[in-house]
Chains A and B, each alone.
Chain A
């Protein structure tokens, strides 16, 4: 009797496992094949030869008309090629739309089927718990079936969490949006001559139109959109005046040079206040030399005015350096710093 109960439990678990393998191991509705025009490694020329399935289709008829007329100089030939290209676009669009319908219906069908299977498994497990006798080995059987039931419920929760109906709808809406955008572009280009929008251009756009109708592409697109939105939110930027000066990045040498020039100016300023005339005169001479050097630069000479006052000379140097920087001439500001250092070191 105990063995029979064990067998019954094993049978139930085996049935459940088989069903789970079916659910997760296969697609119930057969996967849709991409249109042959886009599912092959072959190009149109290779697709439209004897023995190939597309050879006798309208697709190849239009393609032959297109290829035989597209490079002819006559206006009538160009119009014929354009017409054939547009027919090819409509033909391929129809095939892609059909694929899209089947693909999305298939996804919906698979989801409903999974829900139904989980319903059946859960009900079956609950009923079996009720049937199994609780005595001796029956208690163990009940535990096992109860554990399996918990597993089904967890699996359903995970399924709902990861891919619930609302999220499926959002993804499908994204697919529709992406498809509409690409189709608008294609339709806009249909009025162009084949020299501006060839069939190969159109086929590349149609391939994007095809992939825009797949879940993977839509999920990627959604991820990209939300990522971009998050980044924009992070860097909501204040718009500033257009005439703001953009200064280039400084190197460590630039910063060091500026600092050294500043130290020299500080030292000279101190010396100007020194009671010893020779120290003061030496500082004054250096400042004059700096200004003389700066006057040699054609871009700076007009800014340098003559003065005999040392403090005024320092103020002038600072003023000119600031002004050139605010005019976007960091090169001149650096030239001033370089001159202060070179004059000070006597180079």
Chain B
């Protein structure tokens, strides 16, 4: 059976990549789920948001240990995504330690 996925969103006014990292880590724990993807999307109202998809985990361990950085050529992250930082789309790389 496929694992349950949760989708939540973050405001496009996210202040920094560090703020995005804190938000993802907090929500991994609160949802007991691992972050799977980040993407920039738009609500039907026109509001631009960062969509975060999480996959539910059975175990309590290994959550909330994400490091998020601006994507640079040659890095090898767990996955690459896109997020609004200060309303501007930014390519980000997500690493799990």
| A71 smallest CB distance to B (angstroms) | 41
| B82 smallest CB distance to A (angstroms) | 9
Tell me if A228 counts as interface (CB < 8 A to partner B): no
Interface string of B1-25 (1 = CB under 8 A from A): 0000011111101110011111101
Inter-chain contact A238/B39, CB cutoff 8 Å: yes
CA distance in complex: A235, B84 (Å): 10
Tell me if B31 counts as interface (CB < 8 A to partner A): yes
Q: Which residues of A contact B (CB under 8 A)?
A: 234-235, 237-242, 244-252, 254-255, 258-259, 261-262, 265-266, 269, 314, 318, 321-322, 325-326, 330, 333, 337
Which listed residue (B18, B23, B63, B64) contacts A247, Cβ 8 A? B23
Inter-chain contact A245/B11, CB cutoff 8 Å: no
CA distance in complex: A254, B47 (Å): 25
CA distance in complex: A302, B6 (Å): 23
Inter-chain contact B19/A235, CB cutoff 8 Å: no
| A337 neighbours in B (Cβ, 8 Å) | 29-30
Q: Which residue of A lies closest to B25 (CB)?
A: A255
Inter-chain contact A269/B60, CB cutoff 8 Å: yes
Q: Given contacts A244-B7, A247-B9, A266-B61, are A234 and B41 in contact (CB under 8 A)?
A: no
Which listed residue (B20, B26, B89) contacts A234, Cβ 8 A? B89
| B6 neighbours in A (Cβ, 8 Å) | 322, 326
| B64 neighbours in A (Cβ, 8 Å) | 255, 258-259, 262
| B74 neighbours in A (Cβ, 8 Å) | none
Tell me if B71 counts as interface (CB < 8 A to partner A): no
Q: Given contacts A246-B11, A266-B61, A326-B6, are A261 and B43 in contact (CB under 8 A)?
A: no
Inter-chain contact A239/B43, CB cutoff 8 Å: yes
| A280 smallest CB distance to B (angstroms) | 18
Which listed residue (B11, B22, B41, B42) contacts A251, Cβ 8 A? B22
Q: Can you list 7 A-B pairs with a CB-CB distance of less than 8 A?
A: A249-B19, A251-B19, A259-B29, A262-B29, A269-B60, A314-B60, A322-B6
| A324 smallest CB distance to B (angstroms) | 8
| A269 neighbours in B (Cβ, 8 Å) | 60
